[in-house]
Amino acid sequence: MNRLPPLQRGFRALLRGEPQALFDWMDSRSTQGLVGCVMVIIAGCGLFGAAVGLWRSPLQAGYVAVKMPLVILLTAVGNAALNGMLAQLLGTGLSFRQTSLAIIMSFAVAAVILASLSPLVLFLLVNTPPFSSSGHGGDVMLVALVTAIAFAGVVANVRLLRLIEHASRGRAVALQTLFAWLAGNLLLGSQIAWVLRPYMGPADLPVEFLRAEPWRGNFFEGLANSVLRLLNM
């Protein structure tokens, strides 16, 4: 393991969830770790997004392949200052820089998991009814997308919890910090996702990168409506 380049050692530690190795990697002044994690997010989320968007059209697949990584990266950037302040207030001992790297690391783990779920998304694509305004195919795909992202996020944040616990030397502080970060990321990330729509829209609307009224409604309302329609099938 010691013979591997630093970037490969860092990713091995990241996927294994080795707190001390990750903390040392975060403490390094090299930008390789940050760049590597961003590239993993772009590749993993892009692959998953392409699989999701392909259900409607190749053009939609290309759009979603761009928008999925964009949602993740914008969420990380948008909450960087807030998460850093929460880490300081809750006594984790993590600096603003370390906080940002820790969250990017957790998103990179989630991206790897999402990439591994892409074949399952394609299987669902083949076995889901054709896209139509009168069917429930869009609701199925939306709920499946949210479920996959939630699963990837849970697994990734288990790794993040171990890292915060190692840095703060206390599980209670680590749990408080993690829940505070998750709340901020959920609220901002869900709204960014709603604006960019990295999934299928109504069948009677043309395929486009950004809707004419992107701020209309919200993510939680859209998800609740999809679930209710599926339950009333």
Averaged pLDDT, groups of 10, the chain, 233 residues long: 56 68 68 82 92 81 90 88 85 82 86 90 73 59 80 82 79 86 85 77 68 72 74 69
User: What is d(CA 67, CA 196) in angstroms, rounded to the nearest whole number?
Assistant: 7
Specify the pLDDT at position 66: 92
Are the CB atoms for 218 and 191 separated by under 8 Å? yes
Are the CB atoms for 47 and 22 separated by under 8 Å? no
Specify the pLDDT at position 126: 72
Specify the pLDDT at position 1: 45
pTM to 2 decimal places:
0.81
Question: Of the candidates 108, 114, 87, 96, which has an alpha carbon nearest to the alpha carbon of residue 174?
Answer: 87
Specify the pLDDT at position 111: 92
Specify the pLDDT at position 224: 77
CA distances from 192 to 36, 75, 78, 203 (A): 23, 7, 10, 22
Phi then psi for residue 213, to 5 deg, are -125, 70
User: What is d(CA 134, CA 137) in angstroms, rounded to the nearest whole number?
Assistant: 9
Specify the pLDDT at position 115: 92
